[in-house]
Amino acid sequence: MTRFLARRLAWFAITLFVVVTISFFLMRAVRGGPFDGERRLDAAVELNIKARYHLDWPPWRQFLHYVGPFNLDEHRAEFLGGDGGRVFGGVLVGDLGPSFRYRDFTVNDIIAQSLPISVLLGLVALMWALSLGISAGIASALRRGSGLDVAIRLLATGGIVLPNFVIATFLVLVFVFMLGLLPVAGWGTLKHMLLPGLALGAPFAAYIARLTRTGMLEVLSQDYIRTAHAKGLPARLVILRHALKGGLLPVISYLGPATAGILTGSLVIERIFYIPGTGSHFVNSALNRDYTLSMGVTILYTVLVYGLNTVVDFAYTLLDPRIKLEEE
């Protein structure tokens, strides 16, 4: 296990470096900059602003200054009259730099404020996805070939095909305008979480339903399930104690990328429902050419995807002891 973790950590460092490098240079290759606006700045003012943020440096030098902990103390007092503001400290020491648009906040501050909201929204969406998907998948597998099975498969196909913003629009029409049960936007109460959580989790519930159905059908045909039935065990006990554990293995393998997908998929949902999460800041950072904020959220999502996939690998071994972590 130690060798497995060491290898994963090494690949994580390589992956993060590649993602940061490509993202950094692609952002600067796009026309426009963080200080371009409708009102053109005086040439001298624009030069001073670029110099303050080191945008007048060559791209390779900006990259080294942003990524590594170079000149960390040299620029600590460059802003705000020398009272401790900072330009770049380096990703290697956990300093993602200042936001180019939100002048009073660093990227670390913005992520610290918005990430808990996105995580809470993601947890609500994940609960919707698991509860609806697993229940539907089990019911479909147990009633294979029935009308219920056909209806669930059609709904799952629709959930997979339709993007979450289309599902969100339909849910708003039904639960807000037709039934008047839930608020259309905002954040702060349980009612504000239910609708965006359902809109975000519905496509993943469709995938989970299909995976659960496939896994359950495969497990229900195994010899040990037939043996359990032959011993006279109640059908419910056979399903819950024996079949469900093996039938959920495909779902567990899907949960890593699904959880990361729920967090990244919240970009659109947060904009639709006006939720002040990380996804909203990521969209705004792209529109505003806020290099550091966009880079910070990109790094955050990369860490989440890689970390969650590693957790899934461990969970797989807990559910099925026959599966061993590859250590060679």
Determine, yes or no, domain membership for 95: no
Give pLDDT, residue 81: 40
pLDDT at position 83 is 40
Alpha carbon distance 27, 286 (integer Å): 9
pLDDT band for position 32 (cuts 50, 70, 90): low
Is 181 among the domain residues? yes
User: How high is the mean pLDDT of the chain?
Assistant: 76
Structural domain contains residue 319? no
Q: What is the mean pLDDT of residues 204-231?
A: 79
The reply to whether 296 falls in a domain is no
- pLDDT higher than 50, residue 71: no
Burial 42-77 (b: 16+ CB within 10 A, else e): eeeebeebeeebbbeeeeeebbebbbeeeebeebee
Q: For residue 149, is pLDDT > 50?
A: yes
Burial 9-19 (b: 16+ CB within 10 A, else e): eeeeeeeeeeb
pLDDT for the residue 21? 85
Q: What is the pLDDT of residues 279-309, one digit of tens each?
A: 777 777 777 777 778 888 888 888 887 887 7
Judged against a pLDDT cut of 60, whether residue 258 lies above it is answered with yes
pLDDT at 272 over 70: yes
More confident residue, 201 or 67: 201
Query: What is the pLDDT, as a whole number, of residue 304?
Result: 81
CB-CB contact of 271 with 83 (8 Å) = no
Q: How many CB atoms lie within 10 A of CB 161?
A: 10
For residues 60-72, give the mean pLDDT: 63
Query: Is the sign of the CA dihedral 113, 187, 279, 55 positive or negative?
Result: negative
CA distance 322 to 69: 44
> What average pLDDT does the segment 103-107 reach?
77
- Ranges of H-type helices in the chain: 2-29, 43-52, 59-67, 107-142, 147-161, 164-172, 190-220, 223-230, 235-237, 244-247, 249-272, 278-287, 291-319
pLDDT at 1 exceeding the cut of 70: no
What CATH number did the domain enclosing 118 receive? 1.10.3720.10
For the chain, percent of residues with pLDDT exceeding 70? 73
**Domain ranges, residue 163:** 114-280
Tokens encoding 154: 């059609």
Kindly indicate the confidence band of residue 85, based on its pLDDT and cuts at 50, 70 and 90.
very low
The verdict on residue 194 lying in a domain is yes
When divided into structural domains, the chain yields a total of 1
What pLDDT is stored for residue 79 in this prediction?
39
Mean pLDDT of 225-247: 70
Are the beta carbons of 150 and 162 closer than 8 angstroms? no
Residue 88 has what pLDDT? 56
Structure-model confidence comparison of residues 13 and 47, the more confident one: 13
In a domain, 74, yes or no: no
Per-residue confidence (pLDDT) for residue 264, from 0 to 100: 63
pLDDT reading at 76 higher than 60: no
How far is it, in rounded angstroms, from Cα 95 to Cα 257?
A: 27
- Mean pLDDT along residues 229-237: 70
Q: Could you tell me if residue 323 is inside a domain?
A: no
Q: What is the CA radius of gyration of the chain?
A: 25
Tell me the HSE value of 99 on the side-chain side, using a 13 A CA sphere: 20
In a domain, 205, yes or no: yes
Position 238 pLDDT exceeds 50: yes
Assign 92 to helix, strand or coil.
helix
